[in-house]
Structure formats: structure tokens, C-alpha cells
């Protein structure tokens, strides 16, 4: 049985293990995967059973605890050496979403600051992973509500275009871009969602559409190459997307295709918003040019199910993300409010790492 989307929590600590909604099987099958070991958590992140920047941060935090739990020593320094290996394994899963590294770093810092025995550290690590989980949920709700303040005032009921899945499934719950959509729906400000299917992994068609349908939010799925046509016809009032990593100047890495959507929105004078928690901002990077872009397997392009789409001899390039320049972004909607990309810097000190 599938739950109402209001209660979709893709990562849950339950019965001494982590329950993940298997996002590779939606929308056809709602299945839960139980994760007991850090190695299995790393595999779940890499294979995208759990995906979406904030959700993989939460998953990695639990992965750190599971790894800590597996370490069989009472010696603090041996414990920290082994914990570092767990951190490296989890960090090697996906390169672009900074929330992964943010969560691992927060867990490592918490461990090293904890006085007392190895058992004390393990206990604090579980509490910290649970806190990261709970904070992300609250953060998403705040992002959703802050988004309401910057959406266009007219028409009264908006059609919001989104890309990929930045919903409950991609976070601890509620979502970032879909958090804004949910808040707009709740306030009677939403007519419908236009969801790009989001080739090649189809997170829009499979996951965003699933979340909207669960909640009764009208959703129209289009293929990625239909955006300009829909905008020219006046069907879209605002674009809201999530983010995997935002550089200090506001340049934003998100699912491949986001950049072209932003260009098309600009050409049609449609406001383009990024919705993301401050933990997605990487203040170490002055601009987006150094954001590492994950390249995934070519089979995601040439194969759908059992069907091969392309002739033998063709070659492939499969970058999973692109970077949208800050000047194309009207505002970045965070848990602390919505800001022009250039204003992000003032939050550097607030980032809880
Ligand atoms: O490859 P994915 O599915 O992990 O990519 C996810 C996205 O690009 C999302 O839009 C982004 O992480 C924001 S999630 C709130």
C-alpha cells in the first residue's frame, strides 16, 4: 500500500536499521529496503535507491552511524581511523550533491568533539543523524512557506514548472521545489504542476508525477524538449527547481537540463527560482566552474528496460548535472528566506557544520 505523500519519508530510522523507499522501483512498486550496514548504505546511494541532494545527506549521516556501530574497538584513536574509512567509502558514492559531504563532515566533527568512550561517541552519532533528518524536514517546510512570498502575485492560481524530483522523496520529506508547490497548493495558489520527464532517469515522470498524484495535485508531464513551446503558449507562470550544489556566487548545479530550462524561462520573461537548504551552498567554491559533475553510465541513455535505442557504433556522453549561472536565477529560496544569488554570502557563518 502506498502512503499519502504528506507522509512520504524516504529515509527512516526504524528497529535499529534504516528504512529506505526504493526510488528505482517507483511508480510501479512501492518497496522498502532495510539497511543494516554502512556498505549497503553506500551501495543504496550509488545505485540511487535513495537520491536527491538532501536525502542522500540524511542517508549518509545514518551510514556514518551504521559504520561507527560496526567498529569493534574501545580505543578512541583506532575508532577514528576506522570511522575515516567509512566516511571515505560514503563520500565516494556520488560527487555532485554537496549535502553528502556536508552531512559526513558534520558527523565527523561531532565524533571528534565528543569526550568520553567509543560507546558514548556512537550514541551521539545516532542522535546527530536523527537530528539531521528532523532538521531537514523542518527546513523543507520553511522553504515551502518562504517560496510563497516570492511567487508571482498574478494570476491567483499559478502553473509551476519543475525539473527532476525535488520533492519529499529527494529530502527528509515535503521537498524543496515541491515544498514550494505543496505550500502553494495548500494556500490555494496553485493551478497545476508541469513536470519535465527528466531524461535519462526520468525522475520527473516517475517520482514528481507520483508525489503529485498521491496528493491530488494536478500534474502534467511533458518531455524535456517541450518547455519552450509550453512557455511560448503562456502555460507557465514560474519555474521552481531544486539544487545539488550552489556556489558562493549563486551558480547552481542541478539535474541535467536545468540550465536549458533557465535559458528558455529567461527568453520568455518567466521567473526562475531555485529552492534549497543552506546546506546545499558550498561556500568553498567561489563560482560554479569547479562544481564536480557526475558522469553516469552510458546505458542510462541507450537502454530503456530491455530495449536498446541506438545503433551499435554510436558513442555517448552522460553528465548527470549542469550548472545554471546565477544571473538566470531570480531568487534562491532557503529556510531563512528568499534571496538574490548575490546575497547568499551573508549566510556563510550560519551554515551549521
Ligand atoms: O540524480 P538525482 O536524482 O539524485 O538528482 C536530483 C536532483 O538533481 C534534484 O533536483 C536535486 O537533488 C534537488 S533535491 C531536493
Q: What is the pLDDT of residues 253-301, one digit of tens each?
A: 999 999 999 999 999 999 999 999 999 999 999 999 999 999 999 999 9
**What's the ipTM?**
0.98
Dist CA 186 CA 167 (whole Å): 15
Residue 1 is predicted with a pLDDT of 38
Dist CA 172 CA 143 (whole Å): 13
Residue corresponding to grid cell 559533475: 293
203 labeled part of a ligand binding site: yes
Dist CA 104 CA 60 (whole Å): 6
Residue 274 is predicted with a pLDDT of 98
Residue 292 is predicted with a pLDDT of 98
Q: What are phi and psi of 205, to 5 degrees?
A: -65, -40
Residue with the nearest Cα to atom 2 of ligand 1?
Answer: 52
Residue 352 is predicted with a pLDDT of 45
The model's pTM: 0.96
138 labeled part of a ligand binding site: no
Residue 53 CA: nearest ligand 1 atom is 12
Residue 5 is predicted with a pLDDT of 46
Q: At what angle do helices 118-150 and 76-91 cross, to 10 degrees?
A: 40
188 labeled part of a ligand binding site: no
Residue 9 is predicted with a pLDDT of 97
40, 136, 244, 322: which one is catalytic? 244
CA of 244 to the centre of ligand 1 (A): 6
Dist CA 87 CA 231 (whole Å): 44
Q: What is the pLDDT of residues 190-202, one digit of tens each?
A: 999 999 999 999 9
CA of 117 to the centre of ligand 1 (A): 38
Residue 56 CA: nearest ligand 1 atom is 4
Note if 244 is an active site residue.
Answer: yes
Q: Are 80 and 112 in contact (CB under 8 A)?
A: yes
CA of 149 to the centre of ligand 1 (A): 24
Q: CB atoms < 10 A from the CB of 224, how many?
A: 17
Q: Which residues of the chain have pLDDT under 50?
A: 1-5, 352-353
Q: What are phi and psi of 248, to 5 degrees?
A: -60, -30
> By C-alpha distance, which of 99, 27, 86, 88 is closest to 59?
99
End-to-end Cα separation, the chain, in angstroms: 38
Q: CB atoms < 10 A from the CB of 263, how many?
A: 16
Pocket residues: Cβ below 6 A from ligand 1: 51-54, 97, 164, 166, 170-171, 176, 203, 242-244, 254-255, 320
Residue 2 is predicted with a pLDDT of 47
Residue 351 is predicted with a pLDDT of 56
Residue 164 is predicted with a pLDDT of 98
Residue 346 is predicted with a pLDDT of 86
CA of 191 to the centre of ligand 1 (A): 24
Amino acid at each position: 500500500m502506498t502512503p499519502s505523500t504528506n507522509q512520504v519519508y524516504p529515509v527512516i530510522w526504524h528497529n535499529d536499521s534504516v528504512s529506505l523507499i526504493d526510488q528505482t522501483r517507483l511508480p510501479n512498486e512501492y518497496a522498502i529496503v532495510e539497511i543494516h550496514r554502512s556498505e549497503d548504505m553506500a551501495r543504496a546511494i550509488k545505485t540511487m535507491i535513495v537520491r536527491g541532494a538532501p536525502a542522500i545527506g540524511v542517508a549518509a549521516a545514518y551510514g556514518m552511524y551504521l559504520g561507527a556501530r560496526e567498529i569493534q574497538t574501545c580505543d578512541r584513536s583506532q575508532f577514528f581511523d576506522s570511522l575515516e574509512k567509512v566516511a571515505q567509502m560514503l563520500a565516494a558514492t556520488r560527487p555532485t550533491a554537496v549535502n553528502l559531504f556536508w552531512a559526513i563532515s558534520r558527523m565527523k566533527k561531532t565524533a571528534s568533539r565528543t569526550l568520553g568512550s567509543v560507546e558514548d561517541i556512537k550514541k551521539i552519532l545516532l542522535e546527530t543523524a536523527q537530528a539531521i533528518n528532523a532538521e531537514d524536514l523542518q527546513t523543507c517546510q520553511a522553504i515551502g512557506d518562504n517560496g510563497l512570498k516570492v511567487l508571482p502575485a498574478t494570476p491567483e492560481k499559478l502553473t509551476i514548472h519543475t525539473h527532476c524530483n525535488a520533492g519529499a522523496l529527494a529530502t527528509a520529506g515535503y521537498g524543496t521545489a515541491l515544498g514550494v508547490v505543496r505550500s502553494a497548493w495548500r494556500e490555494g495558489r496553485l493551478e497545476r504542476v508541469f513536470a519535465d520527464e527528466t531524461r535519462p532517469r526520468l525522475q520527473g515522470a516517475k517520482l514528481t508525477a507520483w508525489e503529485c498524484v498521491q496528493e491530488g495535485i494536478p500534474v502534467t508531464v511533458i518531455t524535456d524538449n517541450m518547455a519552450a513551446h509550453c512557455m511560448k503558449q503562456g502555460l507557465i507562470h514560474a519555474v521552481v527547481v531544486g539544487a545539488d550544489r550552489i556556489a558562493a556566487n549563486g551558480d547552481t548545479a542541478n539535474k541535467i537540463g536545468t540550465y536549458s530550462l533557465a535559458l528558455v524561462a529567461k527568453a520568455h520573461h518567466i521567473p526562475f527560482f531555485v529552492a534549497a537548504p543552506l546546506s546545499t551552498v558550498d561556500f568553498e567554491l567561489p563560482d560554479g566552474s569547479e562544481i564536480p559533475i557526475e558522469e553516469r553510465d552510458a546505458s542510462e541513455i541507450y537502454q530503456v528496460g530491455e530495449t536498446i535505442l541506438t545503433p551499435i557504433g554510436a558513442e555517448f556522453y552522460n553528465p548527470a548535472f549542469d550548472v545554471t549561472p546565477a544571473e538566470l536565477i531570480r531568487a534562491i529560496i532557503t529556510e531563512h528566506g528568499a534571496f538574490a544569488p548575490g546575497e547568499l554570502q551573508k549566510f556563510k557563518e550560519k551554515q551549521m557544520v
